[in-house]
């Protein structure tokens, strides 16, 4: 095979302005909804049919502004004439310079598509990136594209990167089309996406991220404020249409769960949401319902990401609510630590396995399973961490260690061969 | 921040057996459908409403079988007592050994969930992986999980990896739920997924893939056979229900486009599909419609991935169809080379910009734009490739090069700072 780079990328965009608009109902994940939260307060679906004519309405293609003629390359590479032009059926080959990467390619096509179609930036509700070329292990290309939307103020854009060789693009197209047909299209969700370098993994040869902890916490809280504001706005609009004109507050929710980098962050987050409620309440409600917060009446959300007095007062004011509606969701995080991508669902599993809400049998054994783990010393822990570092990105080895320390039925890495191919084995059940 | 690994992952699975089953219509991307191919032959939708009760029906959680007590770690790390246990709110921390990686974690939870819920392996129509931990830049975790489905013969499973720090998991859940609500659920698509190391990028510090070219071509053709078989089966079933009992062949399609690693591969692929038609035709049809293929009657698909005589005969037999229905889609590939993920959509854009089907204004200028590129010598090309290699994974640099060589309006990489943060600038329009 020739050494070919990735000279062309495109974004397929399905934008909601171009669809036959119909207000969609608050029916996402109704099974869960019926138990948790706001379902009774939400009006019934106006329509529950698929929209018509979901598909590709415009395409934008990027290719580099330079190419090499394949007959030139045949001569240069000293191969028989026709090897590329006839054998592969290729006459010219575009290629990217060092000034072009997956981000710059996507920035160009998105902007060109929007401008050419004269789409307002605030009309986009979803943006997908399908790629097999990454320059960061954790920070999606999509986050960079959010820069283009900055001036419009539109950060409520779902979708993210999908990756797998040549299938990534097709998967992203299917995801976008499915979304438009689903009840989630313009449904009852608040999303906040922006481009921030607070947590990312640009050193591909390292297992560790680059983290700006302070910035990361600030981003978390700002995203929380924005998501909550978007969600409240949407549900209040729906209520209003159903003749129920009142503000949405945390009292309307049965439980609240959060992405959990560490447990204390969650308590602060719930407190933060209460601050949102407080700021948008009437003066009378502020005095009667939110004891101890009177001093913070005049503050603005964006000025209070590092206000420790406020944090303290908020945690105190929301303590009771935290105990009733959130604490049970932190069981796994408390006992196991940060779960990253799966964190939110670890909270859901904890809540479902809690005495508060014993719903789903598949999570009821969590406490028993957690209790059956082996406690190791801090020294042994450090040794295993060093081992991970030592074997990261190596080839031709079998990981050392006693597989009997794994839970029964656990798959484990058995070998990485000299071509990086991985084989797995399973501990007997 | 503590150095925490990724100790818990889970797969959220929404399986189609658990949904109120209703045969869904062939209505994917109807806008395109109405122009291309089979729409008139497909029966109308039986139902076009969202299914009820789409949501999470079961959860499976993975955590490591070992943990370190956080009070032990406080002492070991020589920090004040309570820093982790009170400050972070964490009492125990699980961690993965070298025997555990993202693949092994996912293998375990998927198998456990399937077994615990007693789901047949052939009942799954979609599988999503949400992760921020990757061990290959191009080969998705999902491909490894296909090993579990191997004995069941089920390879028709949509979905792939979605990646972005903590949002990857939520994106994958939303994608799965949207799919179930959409017309694509059990719709008219043929998918083939399996675990093969033919093309992958395990060396994260390198821009280049590992490629087994011969194996990759064989995989391509096998996937083609399987996808086509699945598609034919589905559409023939739909036709049968509408009272139209006949085999589907390439004659039922107006155009055929393919993922294009190189153009010759596409011509071989179309020929391959004709071989599929040929093998399932009656003896009479074989003799009358497929001249020159009589000698290959007794062969089986799986035995013919490297049969050059057959290849030659098939390309000849399908030449006319290739010229009419596929050739126009190869315009971009011929002039620009392999586009990887976006390859199929480069073919679509080519077709739409061709005289055959002048549909969409956004692609009509492709020939003009391609013609305006700069031709560089093979020596200059090689120099740029070397530059890419030299700057790959470096920090604190501005890529050299004259931005005036880019097309007007193109975004380009302006700088990578010492923390790997990338800034982009745009060439004036």
Closest-CA residue in chain B for A192? B167
Contact list in A for residue B373 (CB cut-off 8 A) is 63-67, 92, 94
Contact list in B for residue A406 (CB cut-off 8 A) is 65, 99-100
For residue A180, pLDDT beyond 60:
yes
3-state secondary structure of A374: strand
Q: How far apart are CA A235 and CA A188, in angstroms?
A: 7
Q: What DSSP string describes A248-316? A: --GGG-S------SSHHHHHHHHHHHHHHHHHTS-HHHHHHHSTT-GGGTT--GGG-TT-HHHHHHHHH
Burial of A21 (0-12, 13-18, 19+ CB in 10 A): exposed
Strand pairing report for B199-200 and B210-211: antiparallel
Q: Cβ separation of A411 and B344 shorter than 8 Å?
A: no
Q: Cβ separation of B375 and A66 shorter than 8 Å?
A: yes
8-state DSSP, A416:
E
For residue A34, pLDDT beyond 50:
no
Q: What percent of chain A has pLDDT over 90?
A: 60
Q: What percent of chain B has pLDDT over 90?
A: 60
Q: What pLDDT is attached to residue A354?
A: 82
Q: Cβ separation of B424 and A107 shorter than 8 Å?
A: yes
3-state secondary structure of A94: strand
3-state secondary structure of A200: strand
Q: What pLDDT is attached to residue A10?
A: 31
Q: What pLDDT is attached to residue A362?
A: 60
- Catalytic residue, chosen from B20, B166, B302, B379, is B166
Q: Kind and range of the H or E element at B177?
A: helix B167-181
- Catalytic residue, chosen from B96, B128, B259, B347, is B259
Q: What pLDDT is attached to residue B31?
A: 31
Q: Kind and range of the H or E element at A93?
A: strand A92-94
Query: What pTM was estimated for this model as a whole?
Result: 0.84
Q: What pLDDT is attached to residue A92?
A: 93
Contact list in B for residue A30 (CB cut-off 8 A) is 52-55
The Cα of A285 is separated from the nearest Cα of chain B by a number of Å equal to 32
3-state secondary structure of B90: coil
Q: Kind and range of the H or E element at B376?
A: strand B374-376
Range in A44-48, A381-385, B40-44, B188-192 the model is least confident about = B40-44
Q: What pLDDT, in 10s, does the model give residues A327-369?
A: 999 999 999 999 888 999 999 999 988 865 555 556 778 888 8
Contact list in B for residue A409 (CB cut-off 8 A) is 108, 111-112
Interface test mutation site (partner B, options A174, A180, A395, max chain B beta carbons within 10 A): A174
Out of B48, B197, B391, name the one closest to residue A421 (CB). Answer: B197
> Is B207 a known active-site residue?
no
Q: What pLDDT is attached to residue B134?
A: 85
Q: Is B66 within 8 Å of A376 (Cβ atoms)?
A: yes
Q: Cβ separation of B378 and A9 shorter than 8 Å?
A: no
Q: Chain A to chain B, count of Cβ pairs less than 8 Å apart? A: 572
Q: What pLDDT is attached to residue B401?
A: 86
Active site residues of A: 132, 166, 259
Q: Cβ separation of B207 and A5 shorter than 8 Å?
A: yes
CB atoms near residue B396 (< 10 Å): 10
Q: What pLDDT is attached to residue B93?
A: 92
In this prediction, residue A91 has a pLDDT band, given cuts at 50, 70 and 90, of: very high
Q: Is A305 within 8 Å of A311 (Cβ atoms)?
A: no
Contact list in A for residue B411 (CB cut-off 8 A) is 103-105, 107-108, 111
Q: What pLDDT is attached to residue A36?
A: 39
Q: What pLDDT, in 10s, does the model give residues B50-92?
A: 777 788 888 899 999 999 999 999 999 999 999 999 999 999 9
Q: How far apart are CA B327 and CA A137, in angstroms?
A: 37
Side-chain half-sphere of B37: how many Cα atoms within 13 Å?
21
Mean pLDDT by 10 residues, chain B (429 residues): 27 30 26 36 49 84 92 95 93 91 93 92 94 88 95 95 88 93 87 93 88 94 96 96 95 96 95 97 93 92 94 96 96 92 92 68 78 90 89 89 88 90 89
Q: What pLDDT, in 10s, does the model give residues A196-217?
A: 999 999 988 888 899 999 999 9
Q: What pLDDT is attached to residue B392?
A: 85
Q: Cβ separation of A98 and B388 shorter than 8 Å?
A: yes
The Cα of B40 is separated from the nearest Cα of chain A by a number of Å equal to 16
How high does pLDDT run on average in chain A? 84
Q: How far apart are CA B238 and CA B46, in angstroms?
A: 11
Out of A53, A158, A162, name the one closest to residue B161 (CB). Answer: A162
Closest-CA residue in chain B for A385? B97
């Amino acid at each position: 095979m020739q050494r070919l780079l990735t000279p062309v990328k495109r974004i397929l965009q399905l934008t909601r302005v171009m669809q036959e608009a119909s207000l969609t109902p608050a029916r996402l994940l109704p099974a869960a909804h019926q138990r948790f939260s706001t379902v009774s307060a939400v009006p019934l679906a106006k329509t529950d049919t698929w929209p018509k004519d979901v598909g590709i309405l415009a395409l934008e293609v990027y290719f580099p502004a330079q190419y090499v003629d394949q007959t030139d390359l045949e001569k240069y590479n000293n191969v028989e004439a026709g090897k590329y032009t006839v054998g592969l059926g290729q006459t010219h080959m575009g290629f990217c310079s060092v000034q072009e990467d997956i981000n710059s390619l996507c920035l160009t096509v998105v902007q060109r598509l929007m401008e050419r179609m004269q789409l307002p930036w605030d009309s986009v509700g979803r943006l997908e990136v399908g790629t097999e070329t990454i320059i960061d292990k954790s920070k999606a290309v999509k986050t960079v594209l959010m820069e283009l939307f900055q001036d419009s103020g539109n950060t409520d854009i779902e979708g993210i990167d999908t990756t797998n060789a040549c299938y990534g693009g097709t998967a992203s197209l299917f995801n976008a089309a499915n979304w438009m047909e689903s009840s989630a299209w313009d449904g009852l969700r608040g999303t906040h996406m922006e481009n921030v370098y607070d947590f990312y993994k640009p050193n591909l040869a390292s297992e560790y991220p680059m983290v700006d902890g302070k910035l990361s916490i600030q981003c978390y809280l700002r995203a929380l404020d924005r998501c909550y504001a978007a969600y409240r706005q949407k549900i209040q609009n729906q209520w209003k249409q159903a003749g129920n004109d009142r503000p949405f507050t945390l009292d309307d929710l049965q439980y609240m769960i959060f992405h959990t980098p560490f447990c204390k962050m969650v308590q602060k987050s719930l407190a933060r949401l209460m601050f949102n409620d407080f700021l948008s309440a009437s003066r009378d409600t502020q005095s009667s319902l939110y004891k101890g917060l009177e001093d913070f009446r005049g503050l603005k959300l964006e000025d209070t990401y590092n206000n420790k007095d406020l944090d303290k007062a908020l945690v105190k004011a929301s303590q009771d609510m935290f105990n009733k509606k959130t604490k049970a969701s932190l069981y796994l995080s408390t006992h196991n630590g940060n779960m990253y991508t799966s964190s939110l669902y670890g909270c859901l599993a904890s809540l479902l396995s809690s005495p508060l809400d014993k719903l789903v049998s598949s999570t009821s054994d969590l406490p028993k399973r957690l209790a059956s783990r082996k406690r190791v010393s801090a020294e042994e822990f450090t040794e295993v961490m060093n081992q991970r570092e030592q074997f990261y990105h190596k080839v031709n080895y079998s990981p050392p260690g006693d597989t009997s320390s794994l839970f029964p039925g656990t798959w484990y890495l058995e070998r990485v061969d000299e071509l990086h191919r991985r084989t797995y084995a399973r501990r007997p059940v």
